[in-house]
Amino acid sequence: MPELPEVETVTRQLAPHLEGRRLDRVRILDPRWCVPDDAEATEEALAGRTITRLERRGKHLVWRTDGGTLLLHLRMTGTLLVGASPDVPYQRVVLTLDDGTVVRFCDPRRFGTGRWFAADGDADAHLDARLGPEPLGDAFDGAALHAAVVGRRAPIKALLLDQTVVAGVGNIYADEALFHARIHPLRPGAQLTRRQCDALAAGVKRALNDGLASGGATIDDFRHVDGFEGWFQLDFRVHRRAGEPCPECGAAVVKRTVAGRGTYSCDRCQTRPRVRRAGRTVAR
């Protein structure tokens, strides 16, 4: 699933094409895209709107218009393509601007969504109720992270994937951030010290900024608006590197499942937490 760097990359690339332009025509080819709203009503609401600003909140693309806000989520396989061929596969929505530019939302697995809000305040309330702080903003630091995980027994990897803890972090960047902070993905949130939370908050920012600098990561379907791939996958430290040597110590990178997601770590650099069982302490 595209995460913060991928969505931010798409937002930055789309902005010069869309900001200040009017949506002349909107065709929703797959009504599932805007459920629970009606596809025809959504087309009518969007047509004629001028796009004033593009933003990102968590993994959402936020299209502000002169009379409402459209929230788009790429989910697992969604892509937004500018100037693509009319016969590009998996089209779900086609948006035509007043200058003739065509933006096509393509999504082979059909999980991506679009939701129209007639009032900007309603869109913001929708996001604020579901998302924690932006990890690259001033509101996210070690203190905020420690407050969010204190007393929680879930593994820290699972907590980083919880969008109410921190917005926009997914599987790739959680693995990379935990490696930077030298924290094992299975360590319960409640066991993290304030110092460890400081290190992890810094690790999150570092991983996300690295991803942004590389135009995001393309493992399967993510594409830039011109169809090109990101290249952060070439610089992963541990993610998807099972069995390869750790770039710091040379030990083999280990893959396991945490919170239902394939998770990668170096068990030498990231010490496994220890638990007490039947009177003895063992590594998890």
> Exposed (0-12), middle (13-18) or buried (19+): which is 219, by Cβ within 10 Å?
middle
In this structure, the strands spanning 79-82 and 102-106 are: antiparallel
Half-sphere exposure of 130 (CA within 13 A, CB side): 11
CA–centroid distance for 276 within its chain: 36
- Residue 20 identity (one-letter amino acid): G
Distance CA 185, CA 264 (A): 8
Give the distance from CA 261 to its chain's centroid.
Answer: 15
Which H helix or E strand runs over 52? strand 51-57
* Helical pair 194-213 and 142-149, crossing angle rounded to 10 deg: 120
Answer whether 4-128 and 142-283 agree in fold: no
What pTM was computed for the model?
Answer: 0.93
Contacts with 79 (C-beta within 8 Å, 6 or more apart), sequence order? 105, 106, 107, 221, 222, 223
What is the model's pLDDT at position 226?
Answer: 87
Taking the C-alpha atoms of residue 115 and residue 33, their distance in angstroms, rounded to an integer, is 8
Report pLDDT for 279. 52
Amino acid occupying residue 94? V
How confident is the model at residue 280, as a pLDDT?
A: 53
Q: Where are the domains of the chain?
A: 4-128, 142-283
What residues are labeled active site? 2-3, 59, 261
**CATH top-level class of 4-128:** alpha beta
Question: For residues 8 and 212, is the Cβ–Cβ distance under 8 A?
Answer: yes
State whether residue 68 is helix, strand or coil: strand
- What pLDDT is attached to residue 266? 98
Cis peptide before 36 (omega within 30 of 0): yes
Mean pLDDT by 10 residues, the chain (284 residues): 93 97 98 97 98 98 97 95 95 97 96 96 97 97 97 97 97 98 98 98 97 89 86 91 97 97 97 71 57
| DSSP bridge pairs for 102 | 96
Which numeric CATH code is attached to 142-283? 1.10.8.50
pLDDT given at position 197: 98
Task: Give Cα separations from 206 to 113, 160, 217 (angstroms).
Answer: 29, 15, 15
Q: Are 1 and 59 in contact (CB under 8 A)?
A: yes
